[in-house]
Amino acid sequence: MPYGYLVAQIGSGRARQMTEAAVDPAGDTRGTAVNGRAAVVTLTYLGFTLQLLQVGIVPLLPTIGKQLHLGVADTSWLVTSSLLAGAVALAVISRLADLYGKKPMIMVSLALVLAGCLIDCFATSFPLLILGRVLMGAQFPMLALPEAIASDTMPKKRAQLTIGAIHAGNGVGIGGGILLGALVGIHPTAWRSFFVIGIITVVIGMAATGWLVRDSRHRAAGRLDLTGAVLLALSLVGILLGLSKGPTWGWGSPRVVALLVAGVVLLLLWLVSAGRAKNPLIRLSDILKPHVRVPYLMTFLIAFGVYGSLSAVTRLAQTQPAVAGFGYGFTILQTAWFAVPQTIGAIVGIMLLQRLTRRGSMAVSACVGVGLNALSFVAFAVLAGAPIAVLTAQGVYSMGTAIALATTQILIVGAVPASESGVALGISIVAYAVGNSFGSDIVGLLLSAFGGAGGAPTETGFLVSFWVCCGASLLALAIGGSLAVRSRISGAAAHAAG
């Protein structure tokens, strides 16, 4: 089984890896073999759980809306509220993790998610359901803290492979979420079982983390920059809420304009505050390093295409050809087939990453990942009429995304002190969230701009969207290529000097 093989390779603990240490920019050493294969599996599971619960709710939105007599605009808040809460959690919890320990903050996050699942299991009103989803947003730090623990507590090679495995878990979680939502949606009155499954998965995660994962010994100096945390959190809420509600409220509406302007102003204030603070959330000097700012930008561009690669593709698949003249006519349950290439692609991608890192730099590996993304979008556009080809392209996209996101995060943790790895990765997830919101809005606008009678998407709208997402991937490839060239030049210079 590929996944079992991957875990075995990661946890093999070869003598050479056990003694290997990586020195971070602050001068402290990493690479102590604190966590073994049991921790690898646990950290990977945490990434899987996050995506399972985030993606799985999306197919259930129409069902929940009918049961609680809610409109489309209201049910969309079940996704939006979790996204906004997750952005705040990333800004605060990831920094607290650097200050007081990454493992304790993982447990706090999971406890909040557990409370949210319990509330939603018994919620009979929309406000209570929203409250539960807000608490479930505390799971977003699982996109950063498991990778930070791996970087801080494992030899360099094993840490890199573990980060890859975590991203494979993310990809499997996305596929599992698609399947879970489709299966639960078969019974319109059983949507609460989704949150019951959430309770079970979170409890398992808490037990495994408490028992099998040892924390990083690295701690950041000082205390939480409360002013910076509030400014960053509010700016993210403004920007993300404006982007998510722009298509519904109208891009020219006073509310959307006010949110976006306020978000940008608050972000600028945060930058000023970070430059003056003694112990900022993250040091601007770290963000400005090429091996940090370039991966951040690549993460944004990768996330830009996520909506086009999954939501738009599955929407195309559910379009009825007898009515629209294109599409596959899939039912909601049949769209669960997309879970198969999504899952296989993520696992194969991380196995490929293991080979890539033996032969080239992380920057080159990142370029391979975004190159596969660009190739998949070409296939979506050119072969849109062939379901098997599109399903195959979905697997290629999943493979490329797993490689690209894993390598960008490896580049980031390798360029910042271990005491700031949590918040540095947290910022990368913020870049992902903003990119995803921005990309979904652009694709939504394109589908509307090329809409047909009654505003229904046309085939042209889908094709243009795929080409735009392809352009974002090609831009990420160009940026990553510049970093790869810079890394090769500096490596050659260091070799000559040595």
Q: Are 178 and 342 in contact (CB under 8 A)?
A: yes
pLDDT at 496: 52
Taking residues 26-33, report their average pLDDT. 51
- Alpha-carbon distances, residue 132 vs 58, 70, 109, 242, 492 (angstroms): 15, 17, 13, 22, 53
In the chain, the percentage of residues whose pLDDT exceeds 70 is 89
**For the segment 195-205, what is each residue's pLDDT rounded down to a tens digit?**
999 999 999 99
pLDDT at 107: 95
pTM for the model: 0.80
How far apart are the C-alpha atoms of 489 and 434, rounded to whole Å? 32
- Rounded to the nearest 5°, which phi and psi values hold at 30? -115, 175
288 — pLDDT class (breaks 50, 70, 90): confident
11 — pLDDT class (breaks 50, 70, 90): very low
More confident residue, 2 or 464: 464
**For the segment 291-330, what is each residue's pLDDT rounded down to a tens digit?**
888 999 999 999 988 877 777 888 888 888 887 788 888 8
Residue 22 has pLDDT above 50, yes or no: no
More confident residue, 492 or 51: 51
More confident residue, 158 or 286: 158
More confident residue, 41 or 362: 41
**For the segment 387-419, what is each residue's pLDDT rounded down to a tens digit?**
999 999 999 999 999 899 999 988 888 888 877
Least confident of 251-260, 338-347, 449-458: 449-458
Residue 138 has pLDDT above 70, yes or no: yes
424 — pLDDT class (breaks 50, 70, 90): confident
pLDDT at 1: 35
Token pair listed for 392 = 């195959």
Work out whether the CA dihedral 26, 30, 34, 36 comes out positive or negative. positive
- Alpha-carbon distances, residue 443 vs 76, 309, 406, 429, 463 (angstroms): 17, 10, 25, 21, 10
Taking residues 64-85, report their average pLDDT. 81
At 57, the amino acid letter reads I
Q: First-to-last CA distance in the chain?
A: 43
pLDDT at 436: 83
Residue 50 has pLDDT above 50, yes or no: yes
**For the segment 91-106, what is each residue's pLDDT rounded down to a tens digit?**
789 889 988 999 999 9
14 — pLDDT class (breaks 50, 70, 90): very low
Name which of 302, 343, 320 is nearest 475 in CA terms.
Answer: 302
Residue 19 has pLDDT above 70, yes or no: no
In the chain, the percentage of residues whose pLDDT exceeds 90 is 30
Residue 20 has pLDDT above 60, yes or no: no
**Which strand (E) or helix (H) includes residue 158?**
helix 156-184
Q: Are 98 and 220 in contact (CB under 8 A)?
A: yes
Average pLDDT, the chain: 83
**For the segment 239-278, what is each residue's pLDDT rounded down to a tens digit?**
888 888 887 788 889 999 999 999 999 999 998 988 888 8
498 — pLDDT class (breaks 50, 70, 90): low
pLDDT at 338: 83
Residue 17 has pLDDT above 70, yes or no: no
pLDDT at 434: 85
